Amino acid sequence: MKIDGKEVKMTEGYCVKCKKKVEIQDPVESKTKKGTKIAKGKCPNCGITVCRMGGIQEKAEMKKAA
């Protein structure tokens, strides 16, 4: 997936309804009231809104975390 011309891996978030980590569908990066980055999208299984603190992870960031 490409966002702003950069290759991005699907962002994972925790679905509270399914009670497991899922890949967020159509992630959109935004900010909270306090200015913290979040990635917001839908759970592919149940369709509920899933959020992930820290924004959308890029491939390079994913490799560092592993």
Position 9 pLDDT exceeds 80: no
50: pLDDT strictly greater than 70: yes
pTM for the model stands at 0.65
- In 3-state terms the chain splits into helix, strand, coil percentages (rounded to 5) of 10, 45, 45
From CA 13, how far away is CA 27, in angstroms rounded? 10
5 versus 47: the higher-pLDDT residue is: 47
Classify residue 58 as left (phi > 0), alpha (psi -120 to 50) or beta: beta
The yes-or-no verdict on residue 43 having pLDDT over 70 is: yes
Kindly tell me if the per-residue pLDDT of 11 is higher than 70: yes
